Amino acid sequence: MKVIKRNSSEVTFDISKIITAITKANEAVEEDARMTPMQIKRIAEAVELSCIRMNRAPGVEEIQDLVESQIMAHGAYEVAKKYITYRYTRALVRRSNTTDEKILSLIECCNEEAKQENANKNPTVNSVQRDYMAGEVSRDITTRLLLPEEIVQAHEEGIIHFHDADYYAQHMHNCDLVNLEDMLQNGTVISGTMIERPHSFSTACNIATQIIAQVASNQYGGQSISLTHLAPFVQVSREKITRSLKEEMEVTGVTLTEEQMSKIVEKRLREEISRGVQTIQYQVVTLLTTNGQAPFVTVFMYLGEARSEQEKKDLAIIIEETLLQRYQGVKNEDGVYVTPAFPKLIYVLEEQNIHEDSPYYYLTKLSAKCTARRMVPDYISEKKMLELKVDKNGEGHCYTCMGCRSFLTPYVDENGKPKYYGRFNQGVVTINLPDVALSSGGNIEKFWKIFDERLELCHKALLCRHERLKGTLSDVAPILWQYGALARLEKGEPIDKLLFGGYSTISLGYAGLYECVKYMTGKSHTDPSATPFALSVMQYLNDACKKWKAEHNIDFSLYGTPLESTTYKFAKCLQKRFGIIPGINDKGYITNSYHIHVTEEIDAFSKLAFEAQFQQLSPGGAISYVEVPNMQQNLEAVLQVMRFIYDNIMYAELNTKSDYCQECGWDGEIEIIEQDGKLIWKCPKCGNTDQSKMNVARRTCGYIGTQYWNQGRTQEIKERVLHL
């Protein structure tokens, strides 16, 4: 069994250290108040048993809490008093250098929390360490100086989660939809260099990757671009290639028919499109931004955005090439094609591509093939989105999310036109719903009272995020605020006008609806008798956002939080505060947003149909998934799921497996096993457990992770049941 130390490094559990600590406290009291060596041994064994039952690596503080409880349970109150006093004294000493210790553990690569915090960051790399070190300093400043004490305390206790505290000290926002069209058509400036409108498709793709890198280095969340914004440059290249071909004909004296010329032009054009798409794919996966990872970018593929039939045909060519290259994958260090984490792909299901007789159905079949092998693309239903995303003019709109699931709310500008690209999210604070339920003790009146109190904490925390951005000058990130990614403000101009009136959103996140409902009703929220309560909780969250929006003229929006490391944190906090309650907090994770519990047996279609009603109540972002086996030989089943998505749910994905063992060449599923009280990854063919010698890709929270996960998330992945 492993133990997480205070500096987040991991060591093997040693019962003798507990015995030694209790013995020292025991020797410090009068002889008649002392315990016997046998009592001390029993206390240590009881603590060890409690740690084993956690099914995860406990923290030192948790172990010490257990020791205190056991000493008092034995009636040795004087010994307990000495033990508590010693802990408090040591805590005061440590308080002055906790940040230093964490930074040193990062540098020495023994910080287990950092190793497993982000599924796409490798903490052994200098740039990642530098980002984490800066993050520790920022987090320290944030908790000591910038945030109210009640917010810090609620965050540390897992009552709420103040996301991305490691970036809060800087004036940075969460995620956005990059206005690539504006930047390409009207030019932009990158690192002080003027970038004019590109004269070819390949150049446009090159510029797009530079924009992606710059944007990623100036915010901390996900960003999205649309292939539609690249489509006009296909025609630019077509005309350029045609001119070049005519010049060749003049020089060589060769005469070609119009048909022959057209074939040559289209062949060369296809080659250029292939190179351009390859540029985007390889640049994105090989770029290392200032936060130490590849840009968290989503590529949107929506035929309905095209403004002419020719542009639609050209867009279809780009989409096809994007899917073909993603199906192939990228080569790992052994030269074997594997599944990359980014860019994330989103394919819109629409009337033009969903039916077998639709003109672009071939793209949908290719998408199914790609999903079965590489887990992407994910799917947005134009039909359902037009129903759910309706602006004040009564018009529905279909558009991409800003990362793995964060959606903007409908917005109409001062000219009465809908606007999505160039908008952003200010930040996220998440409420721990199971904590609300457990704190109420199951009393429904107390539940709603505590719910109000916790929501007010979130309200205050979100306003802190908003206030931190207010007064920010456009100069802090020229690519965002001055040169078109999000706006074209003047130098020295504050971004304040973009923070109000719905131009940007700010997100109230929520997690653990399943556990909350299960504790309050005794049933899963899929049970017809419990579903109304689940929906009422969701409506209550929406009502709070509506109230705050009216009060502040800020677009508060409800967001189904994609818990990654926080799922483990919340689970540990719930166990610490309430003990282990079977079926509620007895695992190393809590359930993401409104999702059906990963262990609950349900078929894919029933799952999607049930969760659809919760997407409607999660306007700031939501995604549903179905867990499937290897589907490469059953593409018709994939297409059936896609058709069901189109008719029933706004945004969904299929979770397949895509692994590779570098030791033996195994390309099946890498297993998760328990070893010495810890979950590890193991090749079923050769037994390899060295994570540096295997490529594992798993859907984590709407996006693909490739750098492994903490014990809570790993347990959740291990326990997922198949829906097909």
Please identify which of the residues 425, 507, 618, 710 carries the catalytic annotation.
Answer: 425
| Measured distance CA(321)–CA(330) in Å, rounded | 14
Is 174 noted as a catalytic residue in this protein?
yes
Is 443 noted as a catalytic residue in this protein?
no
Q: Are strands 330-331 and 337-338 parallel, antiparallel or unpaired?
A: antiparallel
pLDDT value at 568 more than 90: no
Please identify which of the residues 138, 174, 353, 618 carries the catalytic annotation.
Answer: 174
Is 568 noted as a catalytic residue in this protein?
no
pLDDT value at 137 more than 90: no
Q: What is the mean pLDDT of residues 678-694?
A: 91
pLDDT value at 97 more than 70: no
Contact 201, 233 (CB under 8 A): yes
Q: What is the pLDDT of residue 189?
A: 96
Q: What is the pLDDT of residue 124?
A: 62
- Per-residue confidence band for 695, with pLDDT thresholds at 50, 70 and 90: confident
Q: What is the largest CA-CA distance in the chain?
A: 112
Give me the helices (H) in 477-565, please.
478-481, 513-521, 531-552
Q: What is the pLDDT of residue 304?
A: 98
Two structure tokens written together for 466: 């908003």
Residue 72, φ and ψ in degrees, nearest 5: -70, -35
- Partnered with residue 550 across adjacent β-strands are none
Q: What is the pLDDT of residue 94?
A: 55
Q: What is the pLDDT of residue 318?
A: 98
The overall average pLDDT reported for the chain is: 90
Closest C-alpha among 707, 717, 711 to residue 294: 707
Place of tokens 């719905």: 502
Could you report the per-residue pLDDT of 506-544, keeping only the tens digit for each? 999 999 999 999 999 999 999 999 999 999 999 999 999
CB-neighbour burial class of residue 497 (10 A; exposed 0-12, middle 13-18, buried 19+): exposed
Could you report the per-residue pLDDT of 591-607, keeping only the tens digit for each? 999 999 999 999 999 99
Please identify which of the residues 78, 564, 611, 716 carries the catalytic annotation.
Answer: 564
Is 536 noted as a catalytic residue in this protein?
no
Cα dihedral sign for 208, 286, 679, 110? negative
Contact 299, 322 (CB under 8 A): yes
Please identify which of the residues 559, 589, 594, 625 carries the catalytic annotation.
Answer: 559
DSSP character string of 277-300 = HHHHHHHHHH---TTSS---EEEE
246-249 long-range CB contacts below 8 Å, 24 or more apart? none
| Measured distance CA(553)–CA(550) in Å, rounded | 6
Please identify which of the residues 35, 205, 375, 402 carries the catalytic annotation.
Answer: 402
- 718 to each of 51, 523, 704, how far by Cα in Å? 20, 23, 16
Please identify which of the residues 702, 705, 710, 716 carries the catalytic annotation.
Answer: 702
Could you report the per-residue pLDDT of 349-377, keeping only the tens digit for each? 999 999 999 999 999 999 999 999 999 99
Q: Are strands 555-560 and 505-511 parallel, antiparallel or unpaired?
A: parallel
Is 425 noted as a catalytic residue in this protein?
yes
The 3-state DSSP class for residue 75 equals coil
Q: When comparing pLDDT for 435 and 629, which is higher?
A: 435
Q: What is the pLDDT of residue 1?
A: 79
Is 702 noted as a catalytic residue in this protein?
yes
Closest C-alpha among 274, 162, 159, 279 to residue 212: 279
pLDDT value at 293 more than 80: no
The 3-state DSSP class for residue 343 equals coil
Q: What is the pLDDT of residue 231?
A: 98
Q: What is the pLDDT of residue 51?
A: 86
Two structure tokens written together for 395: 């018009």
Is 367 noted as a catalytic residue in this protein?
no
Is 688 noted as a catalytic residue in this protein?
no
Closest C-alpha among 349, 338, 427 to residue 704: 338
pLDDT value at 29 more than 60: yes
Is 404 noted as a catalytic residue in this protein?
yes
Could you report the per-residue pLDDT of 113-134, keeping only the tens digit for each? 544 555 455 556 666 666 766 7
Q: What is the mean pLDDT of residues 267-294?
A: 85
Please identify which of the residues 35, 172, 175, 694 carries the catalytic annotation.
Answer: 175
DSSP character string of 608-640 = HHHHHHHHHT-TTB--EEEE----TT-HHHHHH
| Measured distance CA(180)–CA(639) in Å, rounded | 31
| Measured distance CA(262)–CA(278) in Å, rounded | 24
Q: Are strands 223-226 and 297-301 parallel, antiparallel or unpaired?
A: parallel
The 3-state DSSP class for residue 365 equals helix
- Per-residue confidence band for 342, with pLDDT thresholds at 50, 70 and 90: confident
Least confident range of 399-413, 564-578, 627-641, 700-714: 700-714
- Per-residue confidence band for 54, with pLDDT thresholds at 50, 70 and 90: confident
Residue 246 identity:
K
- Per-residue confidence band for 660, with pLDDT thresholds at 50, 70 and 90: confident
CA 249 to chain centre: 53
| Measured distance CA(199)–CA(237) in Å, rounded | 7
Closest C-alpha among 428, 597, 632 to residue 510: 428
Q: What is the pLDDT of residue 7?
A: 59
pTM higher than 0.75 for the full model? Answer: yes
pLDDT value at 96 more than 60: no
CB-neighbour burial class of residue 252 (10 A; exposed 0-12, middle 13-18, buried 19+): exposed
Q: What is the pLDDT of residue 76?
A: 87
SS3 content of the chain, % helix, strand, coil (to 5): 50, 15, 35
pLDDT value at 298 more than 70: yes
So where are the chain's domains? 1-96
- 427 to each of 424, 463, 464, 592, how far by Cα in Å? 9, 10, 10, 18
572-577 long-range CB contacts below 8 Å, 24 or more apart? 572/56, 572/59, 572/62, 572/158, 572/712, 573/157, 573/158, 573/159, 573/432, 573/435, 574/158, 574/432, 574/434, 574/435, 574/438, 575/54, 576/62, 576/65, 577/157, 577/158, 577/435, 577/438
CA 106 to chain centre: 22
Please identify which of the residues 54, 133, 404, 661 carries the catalytic annotation.
Answer: 404
